[in-house]
Chains A and B, each alone.
Chain A
Amino acid sequence: MAEYVRNGVRIDDTFAEAFGMRATRLLVTADHPRWAHAAAASACGFATSVIGCGCEAGVEAELDPAATPDGRPGVALLLFAVSREALAEQVERRVGQCLLTCPTTAVYAGIEGEDRIPLGRRLRYFGDGHQRSKVVDGRRLWRIPVMEGEFLIEDDTAAVRAIGGGNLLILARTRESALLAAESAVAAARAGRGAILPFPGGVVRSGSKVGARRYPKLGASTNDAFCPSLRGSTDSALEPQVGCVLELVFDALTEADMQGAMRAALAAICARGGAGGVLRVSAGNYGGKLGKYHFHLRDILPEQDP
């Protein structure tokens, strides 16, 4: 495969293949940042992949009190699903089980759009007839009485078109060097807005291929071409020096957000340089046959800055 070099890191001249998704942004506020984070951790738990979790979710940003609808500290969450219906179902479940239940929280729609999905519209029935509606600044809010006081939630939120499945593969000499590169890349990508990295710490170690050779019923199985320990027993894509491969997976609201997050991550990896133990960066794709969006690494971060 053709490649180019940046600061001693070889970058495959390939592309990450990404897919259309539906997404929403929720603003979660609380009396104290620790409760906003507790709510976020719960709501975004078990949300690494739509394959097994129903949605992919993560904290987009921490919000200053001045930037929230009620002047309290908060966080912005992004949730992605394969369809509008799946997104609506996941939003209802996660808000009902993880945000309604968390002390002091309130939930607001954090994104504009014409396609609306329920947020508090059905959850309000938890109030058993004691719920009250308030229209504040043109937005309908539901006040649901709870033992702690009231849970405040906006009536609906927007489901917008978004992109999931952007990715980068970090091929490093050792596990330690791969982890350090991945951690710096995740930190850089998470500094921006409009994108999340939904896996633990933003990193995936178990990249997959479509289907399986030995088990026909499996939809996905280990990406043996990138498993260092299978070199010699499979058609490996790894050179002998590679001791560890980690993957970063990105979901973003727009193509620009995806490019921004991938660029920040790739730049952070390259900033560590070849001397930092990173040998090569690649990206996963299916030959361009499945995903609508192709993010070419050379376009995201060229060999040299223009």
Chain B
Amino acid sequence: MALPSSQSRGSSVSGLILTLKPQAPEALDGAGLLPASLAGLSPAEAARRPLAPGIELGECFTVQADPAAPDHRLTLRTGARRLARLGCAMDGGTLRVVGDAGDLLGQDLRGGEIVVEGGCGAYAGAGQRAGLIRVRGDAGDFLGGAADGYEGMRGGVLLVQGRAGARAGWRMRRGLIAVAGGCGDWCGAEMLAGTLVAPRCGARAGLGLRRGSLVLWECPPELPATFNDAGVAEFVWLARLDRWLAALEFRLPPLTQRARRLVGDQGAGGKGEILIVGG
């Protein structure tokens, strides 16, 4: 998205802080709240930007300059999960959410970084193509999963420090999802490819898994009968993955090379795998 020309820029070139007003509508579409679309605007200019048809941004948010932040950083103080589609199709910059984000966080994300200090709703990272999403709290169902009109995650990195709900990685095609607090049932179900890392997950993990990798520390409680046990072996790529997660400053137990490999889902081609770290 093109930045405003220098002539239309306000005097401020700092980042902005948007604080949700209590009187704002209960549910809001936050797709337009992108660092690039507000970069270079003064708080007054930003407040006059349309948020939705007939609604100006300033009607729902208090807008402040953030002198300590660079031009391409936008901070949202949201409170509860009322803002859906935050960071939708964002292609650069940094979006920081202080509080919780609603559903479809980072939908179709193409670049940049989204940091959510709280939790987020369902379908975070749906259709994500690139970029990085960090969620400090818990995530809802369908993390990185396919939403209506969108495929599952197609690239980039999605890191959740808390727990994720059911069907994490559903129909995911590429990229990395890591969930430090573990995932719910149907984790990696119908996953096409990519990598999902979590210490543990609920029942029926990997059902319909085609080619991707689920990396777990604990064997799921109920595994589909369509997975074959390949035994324990050494997988150097796990060491490489461990280095990458460390570089992303994501806290997980160390990934050893040694892992038990469960191959499946044989009902979906059998080219996927569940790796149980440590065997």
Contact = CB atoms under 8 A, between A and B. Distances in A.
Interface of A: 29, 69-72, 104, 106, 132, 134-137, 141, 143, 148-150, 152
Given A134-B213, A135-B174, A141 B237 contact: yes
B111 to A, nearest CB: 13
A106 B243 CA distance: 14
B242 interface: yes
Given A134-B213, A135-B174, A137-B247, A69 B234 contact: no
A70 B195 CA distance: 17
A135 B213 CA distance: 12
Contacts of A69: 240, 243
Interface string B132-172: 00000000000000000000000000000000000000000
A71 B174 CA distance: 24
Contact of B237 (A71, A104, A143, A148): A143
Contact of A141 (B176, B234, B240, B271): B240
B240 A70 contact: yes
A72 B256 CA distance: 12
Nearest to B230: A145
A286 to B, nearest CB: 46
Interface residues of B, number: 20
Contact of B241 (A104, A132, A136, A150): A136
A102 B55 CA distance: 66
11 contacts: A69-B240, A71-B243, A72-B239, A104-B234, A134-B195, A136-B244, A137-B240, A137-B247, A148-B234, A149-B233, A150-B234
A267 to B, nearest CB: 37
A106 B195 CA distance: 20
Given A70-B240, A132-B213, A137-B247, 15 more contacts: A69-B240, A70-B236, A106-B240, A135-B175, A136-B176, A137-B243, A137-B244, A141-B237, A141-B240, A149-B233, A149-B234, A150-B234, A150-B235, A150-B236, A152-B240
A196 to B, nearest CB: 26
Interface string B47-80: 0000000000000000000000000000000000
Given A134-B195, A149-B234, A150-B233, A71 B244 contact: no
A143 B236 CA distance: 9
A77 B192 CA distance: 36
B235 A70 contact: no
Interface string B243-279: 1100100000000000000000000000101000000
Contacts of A132: 211, 213, 271, 273
Interface in B81-138: none
A150 B174 CA distance: 21
Nearest to A143: B237
A108 B233 CA distance: 21
B256 to A, nearest CB: 11
A66 to B, nearest CB: 10
Nearest to A135: B174
A152 B234 contact: no
A10 to B, nearest CB: 51
Contacts, number: 53
A70 B244 CA distance: 9
Interface of B: 174-176, 195, 211, 213, 233-237, 239-244, 247, 271, 273
Instruction: Give the 6 A-B CB pairs with smallest separation, nearest first.
Output: A70-B239, A149-B234, A152-B236, A70-B240, A137-B244, A149-B233
B241 to A, nearest CB: 6
A10 B74 CA distance: 67
Contacts of A106: 236, 240
Contacts of B247: 137
A143 B244 contact: no
Given A134-B195, A134-B213, A135-B174, A152 B243 contact: no
Contacts of B236: 29, 70, 72, 104, 106, 149-150, 152
B235 A71 contact: no
A136 B239 contact: no
A134 B237 contact: yes
Nearest to A137: B244
Contacts of B211: 132
Given A134-B195, A134-B213, A136-B244, A71 B239 contact: yes
B152 to A, nearest CB: 15
A148 to B, nearest CB: 8
Contact of A152 (B175, B237, B242, B271): B237
A69 B244 CA distance: 8
B64 to A, nearest CB: 35
